[in-house]
Amino acid sequence: MNKILKNLTVLLVEDDSDSKKIMHDVLSDNFEKVFTAQNGDEGLKKFKKYNPNMVITDVFMPISDGLDMTRYIKEISKDTPVIVLSAHSEKET
């Protein structure tokens, strides 16, 4: 990965512990610091505390989902990139 990423921090918001561990391991190899949160509420608190350079979040989570959290983050810092992911697939019938 690019050396520029080593100077950046990322907030990873994911409720599934297995997915979070895998993504954390990959991101930790490439970013200076990876902060983690279990849901949107915790993610927003950590965003305010650590002010990461970017956010990667699951879309479907309990308590507060990734979309709600993203709306709040964009009110605070419109220039922070947010990547929203989902492991859910839609089955066609």
Q: pLDDT tens-digit profile of 2-61?
A: 676 678 999 999 999 999 999 999 999 999 999 999 999 999 999 999 999 999 999 988
Architecture of domain 3-85: 3-Layer(aba) Sandwich (3.40)
pLDDT digit string (tens) for 64-85? 888 899 999 999 999 999 999 8
- Residues linked to residue 55 through DSSP beta bridges, in sequence order: 11, 82
CA–CA dist 10, 35 (Å, integer): 6
DSSP category for residue 92: P
| pTM (two decimals) | 0.87
CA–CA dist 35, 7 (Å, integer): 14
